[in-house]
Amino acid sequence: MKRLPVGVLLALAGCSGVQSPLAPSGREADALFSLFGLMMVVCGAVYVLVMVGLGWSLWRVYRRRTVAADSVSISDRTLDRGVWIAAGIIIVGLTTLIIGSFIADRAMFRARGRDAMLVRVTGHQWWWRIQYRDPATGSWIETANELHLPVGGTTRMSLGSADVIHSFWVPNVAGKLDMIPGRRNLLDLTPRREGWFRGQCAEFCGLQHAHMALDVKVESPAAFNAWLAAQARPAMTPGNGIAARGASLFAGSCAACHVVGGTTAHGRAGPDLTHVATRRSIAAGTLAMTRNNLQGWIAQPQAIKPGTSMPAVPMNPTDINAVAAYLEGLK
């Protein structure tokens, strides 16, 4: 049986993932993938030609050497011809690449000017604030760390930052774009395949830069609309005794930094938690959304993301459990 080296298998495994520009699943990523292919072909061809030329000249030198050691010389005409061929290859190759990248760039911003749905994403150390403009009312619907996109449609991201420079990158769907304090950059996303993808902050932004990931769900327009409508609703009222106790503890210790829609929690320093339990992970893709992980995060955020601006609020385990039960009910 033929066996591929482990390194080759690992490299190939990287091409099919949920965070890979080599598995394009959107119009903008398609354009970049085609450009990547063109660059591989042009640069590969130049590489092969250079290697063949090198081999050929070495072979000629070697052949002559065996005849007479000191008669190695290249005529001016051969030299001239070589220079012209090299110049031709460079001009044709570079022109092809320039045209290719111009076309890819146009393809990526084709929807500009048309009315795409607008989503504001703001980078924070080290999480993402996400705000959808409600097409019906024009008001903003806020969530965090999990982006939903309707398949087939174009969503325009307005990217900004609240502190340092971050960079927004969901490789399967589109290229990356920096998020710069004081300005908004626009990026269009037109995913064409449903499923979960993963984004990642792509500009070093401090200690927990690596723990600044983004869950991305591409779904049917109907599922997307239902999701958006659910996100716009105020939070559920706690169902049982423990969760109700958790709610009052939350109002005392956490409300200064977090919003829970429909309650007195109005803090803007941290992610909106109105529907936190609908999300797949917490702390920007760092932990799966489970009761245990909520408890662990509340008890020791500094152990999970050292340097995060969420402090460990002093609470005993029973209270932490109650708060986690409350959050788990925020569907």
Residues in contact with ligand HEC by CB under 6 A are 126-127, 144-145, 208, 250, 253-254, 256-258, 269-271, 273, 276, 279, 282-284, 294, 297-298, 305, 308-311, 313, 323, 327
Rounded to a whole number of angstroms, the minimum distance from the CB of residue 216 to Cu ion is: 16
Contact 124, 307 (CB under 8 A): no
Rounded to a whole number of angstroms, the minimum distance from the CB of residue 306 to Cu ion is: 15
Distances (CA, A) of 111 to 117, 196, 321: 11, 23, 47
Tokens of 304: 């999970």
Of 133 and 184, which CB lies nearer to Cu ion in the complex structure?
184
Q: What is the DSSP letter of 121?
A: E
Residues 6+ apart with CB under 8 A from 249: 315, 319, 322, 323, 326
Rounded to a whole number of angstroms, the minimum distance from the CB of residue 326 to ligand HEC is: 8
The listed partner (Cu ion, ligand HEC, none) that binds 276, CB under 5 to 8 Å by sort, is ligand HEC
The listed partner (ligand HEC, Cu ion, none) that binds 98, CB under 5 to 8 Å by sort, is none
Number of chain positions touching Cu ion (CB under 5 A) = 4
Taking CB under 5 A as the rule, does residue 205 contact Cu ion? Answer: yes
**Apex CA 282: angle with CA 321 and CA 261, to 5°?**
75
The listed partner (ligand HEC, Cu ion, none) that binds 201, CB under 5 to 8 Å by sort, is Cu ion
Write down how long the chain is: 331
Among 35, 149, 212, 304, binds Cu ion (CB under 5 A): 212
Q: Is residue 28 helix, strand or coil?
A: helix
What string marks each residue from 156 to 175 as x (binds Cu ion by CB under 5 A) or -?
Answer: ----------x---------
Tokens of 282: 């917490």
Rounded to a whole number of angstroms, the minimum distance from the CB of residue 84 to Cu ion is: 49
The listed partner (ligand HEC, Cu ion, none) that binds 313, CB under 5 to 8 Å by sort, is ligand HEC
Rounded to a whole number of angstroms, the minimum distance from the CB of residue 174 to ligand HEC is: 23
Rounded to a whole number of angstroms, the minimum distance from the CB of residue 195 to Cu ion is: 24
CA distance 133 to 231: 12
Residues 6+ apart with CB under 8 A from 89: 46, 49
Residues 6+ apart with CB under 8 A from 327: 246, 250, 273, 276, 277, 294
